[in-house]
Amino acid sequence: MSEADQQPTGGSYSVSGTRVGGSVVQAGSIRSVHIHGGPAPAPALPVPRQLPPVPRRLVGREDDLAALDRSLGDATDAADVTVVVTGPAGVGKTVLATQWLRGLSGRFPDGQLYADLRGHAPGGPADPAEALGAFLRAFGITPVPGSLAEGAALWRSLAAERRIAVLLDNASTAAQVRPLLPGSEHAVVVVTSRRRLTGLGIDGAVFRKVDLLSDDAAAQLLTQRVGEDRVARERAAAAEVVERCAGLPLAVCLAAARIAARPVQSLAATAEALGHESDRLAAFDVEGEAVHHVLDASFEVLDADAARFYRLLGLLPFPVFTLDVACAVGDLAPGVADRLLDGLIDVHLLEEMEGGFRFHDLVKLHARALAVEVRDAPEGRAAVDRVLDWYLASATAAEALLSPSHRTLGRDYTRQPVPRAREFTEEAEALGWLDAEADRLADALRWAAATDRTAVAWQLVDAMWPLFLRRRPARLWIEAHRIGRAAARAAGDRAGELRMLTSGGTGLRNAGEGEEAAAWFEEAFALARTVGDPLVEADALYGLSQTHRTAGRLTEAAECLRGAVTLREARGYARGTALARLALGDVLLAAGRAAEAVPVITGAHRELAAVPAAYEAARALAFLGQAHAALGADGEAERCYAEALAEFRTGQARHWEARVLELTGDLARDRGRLTEAAARYRESLSHYRALAAPDAARLAAGLDALGAAASPPDDGEAGPE
């Protein structure tokens, strides 16, 4: 090789596709030299776009999306934000979170990551290290660190300069979530959970609770899935389907899938299948996806005490209940019950509301299905006894304050000691409780009858007397006494049967069922004579007098009332005697004998005020006002009406408040003050309608009779609906 051949030269070249650069040495003739490049570089990883698919149009979540937007503040770029989206199983938390993050995809050019933390999966929650490993591998980090702490540190380093969104779905606890928070100034994290995860508030998280869909939104969702044509052909059936889904998006989607899979079957068939409470949850089952599965998953994370409590609450015949009832059903102290209730609320099996707690309709069915396991066991029977005894004792306490003269019959409590009942010191408080609990008292009564607790059933009706007397709920009054009469007979309690006949007859008479009312009073009169109870004979005569009065048989009414006065006066029953005299005064008024009525009613008012019986004395004033009005003594009539109205408002006696307003309207009408009369009638009619009282029809007719003067004023004030 010559010296010249050995001089170095500069330059580069490629061999087998590999470019080589730098100084080389010319070595003359070289044989069989092969230069190969290294392995081809791995292709670049795509930007992670892991969010699950969602429907193109999200129905009924505009307010939620707006609230999530507000959580970002005014920043134009994504800033360190963690949002916890909570709600019951099947309410659509994941769909909402995914839709929101997809709408913000331009803010996250470096990736959108997703992890299912399996908070309620059969195998238990996911280890956060599993999700961390997936995130790191998505950015090309392999192998991933072996320890959770090291992996979390690497994850934060990786995310520090990236604009990313992270959806942590179905989280179980705050501790499971914390290692997965990137801690970046450019990241948004959304956590979904059936639990409230309040611990993440320490980490600066904001919270958004997702509620059930409105009926309109649920109908839109059903239409979206089923098609407008099918819904349009069967709007009534579609509305029934929506109602029975109770606002739960998962239920709507499953019902829609069931309908879509049966194109020739009517929507009415699905509505009917969902109408049977005993198997409604089973009807929400499409190829293994079912409402009861997600509710089972929520139930299975409860500890043993909370699970027992949930089953016992499932025994209740109503979806809404108070802390007192919860204590009774579980035989728990308030603090313990409150802790267990909080655990159920935490997994959205229960919702807290003002003054109590509420089961969603479908959750109630789930709890009821689980309650079957304890219903016939000693534990379940004892729970039912405790709740019924609590209602009976509480209603009896209200009765003793509001209607002390009626509180004369015994109480046969099933359990001893009786669970701590409500106590009342003011009439307004007692009447307010009866108002608030009216629906649950009715359900408890039906429950007692259905479970053959006959003594509790009729005694609960008896204890509800102030509710019937003051509020006049006509349908409930009649239904309750029919149940009570049958229960008293089944229990063989003559005193109870007599009470049911007389107070039930009054309800029938007030509802316009005069013939049946008369039959009840006549039966009571005969039974009272058989058992030798003159005071009940007097009660029956009083009731018969009112049916005669309503039918216009005024002579017979007066005769019955004079007999009642004689029987009651002979036994020193001052209040009852005064009431019979008051009723006699009313009959005299109806007969057009106002001058005779004034001294009778005045005496009754004096005696009732002396008892004292403020409510009944106010009724006497109302009758006295009528008598003075009939005699042309308008000033005295107006004074009596004003005093009576004030007393009825104080005592929240709404039916009589409406009646006195009607009487003031009558007086104004008769004196030609038609505009004033129309105003009083409208106010009275609104009260009657709120009570569903039959008087509403009569008063509406009276308004019509006033003609143009009864129309609402021109200033836009609305009249009665």
For the segment 123-157, what is each residue's pLDDT rounded down to a tens digit? Answer: 778 899 999 999 999 998 888 888 899 999 999 99
Average the pLDDT over 70-91 and give the result: 81
For the segment 377-398, what is each residue's pLDDT rounded down to a tens digit? Answer: 999 999 999 999 999 999 999 9
**What tokens appear for 328 in the block?**
């009774």
**pLDDT bucket at 72, cuts 50 / 70 / 90:** confident
Average the pLDDT over 53-68 and give the result: 87
Residue that finishes a domain, picked among 209, 234, 253: 209
Looking at residue 716, what DSSP letter applies?
-
The pLDDT of residue 288: 58
Residue that finishes a domain, picked among 146, 176, 209: 209
**What tokens appear for 523 in the block?**
């039966």
Length of the chain: 721
Cβ-based burial of 211 (10 A; exposed 0-12, middle 13-18, buried ≥19): middle
The pLDDT of residue 79: 65
Question: Is residue 57 included in any domain, yes or no?
Answer: no
Residue given tokens 């699950």 in the structure block: 52
Question: Is residue 389 included in any domain, yes or no?
Answer: no
Q: Do residues 88 and 200 share a domain?
A: yes
Question: Is residue 305 included in any domain, yes or no?
Answer: yes
Average the pLDDT over 334-355 and give the result: 90
Q: Distance between CA 467 and CA 434 in Å, rounded?
A: 6
Closest by CA position to 453, among listed 419, 420, 487, 478: 487
**pLDDT bucket at 40, cuts 50 / 70 / 90:** low
Q: Distance between CA 13 and CA 37 in Å, rounded?
A: 12
Q: Distance between CA 87 and CA 464 in Å, rounded?
A: 38
Backbone torsions φ then ψ of 717, nearest 5 degrees? -60, 130
The pLDDT of residue 17: 36
Q: Do residues 321 and 220 share a domain?
A: no
**pLDDT bucket at 24, cuts 50 / 70 / 90:** very low
Question: Is residue 195 included in any domain, yes or no?
Answer: yes
For the segment 183-208, what is each residue's pLDDT rounded down to a tens digit? Answer: 888 899 999 998 889 999 998 899 99
Structural domains of the chain, count: 4
The pLDDT of residue 437: 95
Question: Is residue 639 included in any domain, yes or no?
Answer: no
CA atoms lying within 13 Å on the CB side of residue 478:
12
Strand locations in 38-126 (E): 81-86, 112-116
Beta carbons of 436 and 391 less than 8 angstroms apart: no
Q: Is the pLDDT of residue 7 over 50?
A: no
For the segment 220-239, what is each residue's pLDDT rounded down to a tens digit? Answer: 999 988 889 899 999 999 99
Residue that finishes a domain, picked among 240, 257, 287: 287
The pLDDT of residue 11: 40
DSSP per-residue codes, 527-592: HHHHHT-HHHHHHHHHHHHHHHHHHT-HHHHHHHHHHHHHHHHHTT-HHHHHHHHHHHHHHHHHTT
Q: Do residues 275 and 311 share a domain?
A: no
**What tokens appear for 126 in the block?**
């996911």
Question: Is residue 348 included in any domain, yes or no?
Answer: yes
Looking at residue 682, what DSSP letter applies?
H
Average the pLDDT over 628-646 and give the result: 96
Q: Do residues 137 and 101 share a domain?
A: yes
Q: Do residues 168 and 117 share a domain?
A: yes
Q: Do residues 192 and 220 share a domain?
A: no
Q: Do residues 71 and 149 share a domain?
A: yes
Q: Do residues 248 and 319 share a domain?
A: no
**What tokens appear for 566 in the block?**
């004689």
Single-letter amino acid, residue 65: L
* Least confident stretch, 43-57, 341-355, 658-672: 43-57
Beta carbons of 516 and 543 less than 8 angstroms apart: no
Q: Do residues 99 and 202 share a domain?
A: yes
Q: Using DSSP bridges, classify how beta strands 188-193 and 165-169 pair: parallel, antiparallel or unpaired.
A: parallel
The pLDDT of residue 334: 94
CATH code of the domain covering residue 341: 1.10.10.10
**What tokens appear for 562 in the block?**
């004079």
Domain hosting 172: range is 62-209
**pLDDT bucket at 38, cuts 50 / 70 / 90:** low
Q: Is the pLDDT of residue 451 over 70?
A: yes
Q: Do residues 146 and 193 share a domain?
A: yes
Mean pLDDT over each residue of the chain, to the nearest integer: 87
Q: Do residues 77 and 203 share a domain?
A: yes
CATH code of the domain covering residue 182: 3.40.50.300
The beta-carbon contacts of 367-372 under 8 Å, at least 24 apart in sequence, are: 367/310, 367/311, 367/313, 367/314, 368/314, 368/315, 369/281, 369/292, 369/314, 370/299, 370/310, 370/311, 370/314, 371/311, 371/312, 371/313, 371/314, 371/315
Question: Is residue 656 included in any domain, yes or no?
Answer: no
Taking the CB of residue 575, how many other CB atoms lie within 10 A of it?
17
The pLDDT of residue 289: 62
Question: Is residue 129 included in any domain, yes or no?
Answer: yes
Q: Is residue 18 classed as helix, strand or coil in its secondary structure?
A: strand
For the segment 554-570, what is each residue's pLDDT rounded down to a tens digit? Answer: 999 999 999 999 999 99
Q: Do residues 73 and 201 share a domain?
A: yes
Q: Distance between CA 89 and CA 66 in Å, rounded?
A: 22
